[in-house]
Structure 1
Amino acid sequence: MFRHRGKGRTLIHNLQLASLLSLVAGIVNVTGIFALQTLTTNVTGHFAYFADEVARSNFSSAAVFLVYIIAFSAGAFSSNFLIEITARSNNRYGVAFPIGIEVFILIFIAFLSPEALQAHGHLIACSLLFAMGLQNALVTSLSNAVVRTTHLTGLFTDLGIEFSKLIFYRHPDQQKALKGSIKLRLTIIAFFFSGCIVGGLVYFFFGLLSLLLAAFILIIGWFHAFFRYNFLRWRRQHIP
């Protein structure tokens, strides 16, 4: 799931990655909406808010949305930078660094007090956007831009295109590729939606501690991939 990159990935690898990280994104998305009343998994809406505030000459408010956009971009930059640096040093577990940073951010914010949330809402939103930038860049890099997990606009666009292609592209190989792509996109949508539902229910009872669930999912996913990879490698070396 985390080991293979680009053309070395299969549909199964991408389905596993998509289901895990879109579930996390859904939880973070709904937590950000409930706790901060702002978007914390993508920046599409922030561009609209930024333009609106500039048009109204509310430059201080516009600056906040600009910082949100920069925070997300900084997370994406940091994620790919860490992956490239570790790849050049032959570190097989380079993706652990952006995942580890994301987990740290989620756990740290989960234990903040209501007073801290009230006093530092913008900073907390920036931190969550940075974490989602980390995640989105990680997924994009690993899957060669096949998988996206933090927003759904492009997914629904691609779904519409691919459903229409099913009508015209009738060759078995074309049908197989299209159906695999559709399955992947529906998986992302389903798990993102599930994350929003589950995260919303947990937030209703436990507040920001809902982010602990997202962090726990990331940790379990990473350790599962780590131990599975090492087990398979051991089996290939010791079992004919």
Structure 2
Amino acid sequence: MDKINNRLFLWISLLALLGGGMNAYAILKFSLTASHITGSVTKISTDLAYYNIPHLKIMLGLVSSFFIGAITSGVLIGEGRDFEFRKRYGDTFIFIGILLKVSEIYLRENLIFVFVLAFSLGLQNGLFIRYKGMVIRTTHMTGTVTDLGVVIGHFLRGDKDEGLKIKHYTVNIISFISGGLFVGLGLKYLGENVLNYMSIGYILTGSAYFLLRNQYYKIKK
């Protein structure tokens, strides 16, 4: 079971890497953040204050796309926020990979593409919340950085059991940064072909989930 848990830990880290890459692409290509909804909601307020209607429409589109992605996640995954192998994570990530590829072919230079990224990240963010007592985030790092700071504080107070959480949150942040670095360098040296790697990454991550699930059920028998 420890081997399964280690592989699952790696799988979650890959999701953070892909989430970081998706958001980096939105920033570099469209100067917009696809997953940072707090900032987008704040910009809606300021756009209303200054009557910046064109930008307001973009912000509303981003927030709505992310929200619809979260709704879709609830429909696909069902009740319960804990990670469970019976849920349809594999299908969902394969779908995101295919959606990215199809959208890249037809919408790559269109602003609608950033809405597709926001929808995909909303879908990804809604998939699961808790694993081994930790809150899992793979599309934005505000909560993860906060959680890391809190558990380090607990550790400094003498709670040595927080070591696993410190490890997880640290790797999660590094994975997210690595995804942004990969896409940034990819755009610099590979151009738009970097999207193909992101699409393949999601499809492979979804496929890896099915392998993990099969291994888990073999051990449980």
Query: Fold-level match, TM-score > 0.5?
Result: yes
Aligned to 2:78: 84
Separation (CA, whole Å) in 2 of partners of 1:13 and 1:143 = 14
Amino acid at match of 2:76: L
Separation (CA, whole Å) in 2 of partners of 1:117 and 1:25 = 18
* Distance change in 2, residues 1:205/1:230 (3 Å): same
Q: Does 1:133 align with 2:118?
A: no
Check conservation: 1:22, 1:150, Cα contact below 8 A: yes
Equivalent residue for 2:9, pick from 9, 12, 15: 15
Equivalent residue for 1:198, pick from 179, 182, 185: 182
Could you list the per-position Cα deviations for residues 173-207 of structure 1 after superposition, in whole angstroms to 9, with x for gaps in the alignment?
A: x422x111111110110111111111111112333
* Distance change in 2, residues 1:41/1:210 (3 Å): farther
Structure of greater Rg: 1
Aligned to 2:171: 187
Shift of 1:54: 0.7
Q: Does 1:226 align with 2:215?
A: no
Amino acid at match of 2:209: A
Separation (CA, whole Å) in 1 of partners of 2:88 and 2:184 = 32
Separation (CA, whole Å) in 2 of partners of 1:18 and 1:223 = 13
What is the 5 A alignment of 1:1-240?
Answer: 12=6, 15-84=9-78, 92=86, 94-112=88-106, 116-118=107-109, 120-121=110-111, 123-140=112-129, 146-168=135-157, 170=158, 174-176=159-161, 178-231=162-215, 233-234=217-218
Normalising by structure 2, we get a TM-score of: 0.84
Unpaired runs of 5+ in structure 2? 80-84
Tell me the secondary structure at the aligned position of residue 99 of structure 1: helix
Check conservation: 1:26, 1:195, Cα contact below 8 A: yes
Could you list the per-position Cα deviations for residues 115-144 of structure 1 after superposition, in whole angstroms to 9, with x for gaps in the alignment?
A: x544x31x1111110000111111337778
Separation (CA, whole Å) in 2 of partners of 1:108 and 1:193 = 26
Normalising by structure 1, we get a TM-score of: 0.78
Check conservation: 1:14, 1:147, Cα contact below 8 A: no
Shift of 1:96: 3.0
Identity of aligned residues (%): 24
Separation (CA, whole Å) in 2 of partners of 1:33 and 1:49 = 15
Amino acid at match of 2:160: Q
* Distance change in 2, residues 1:13/1:214 (3 Å): same
Deviation beyond 6 Å, 4+ runs, structure 1 = 141-145
* Distance change in 2, residues 1:40/1:13 (3 Å): same
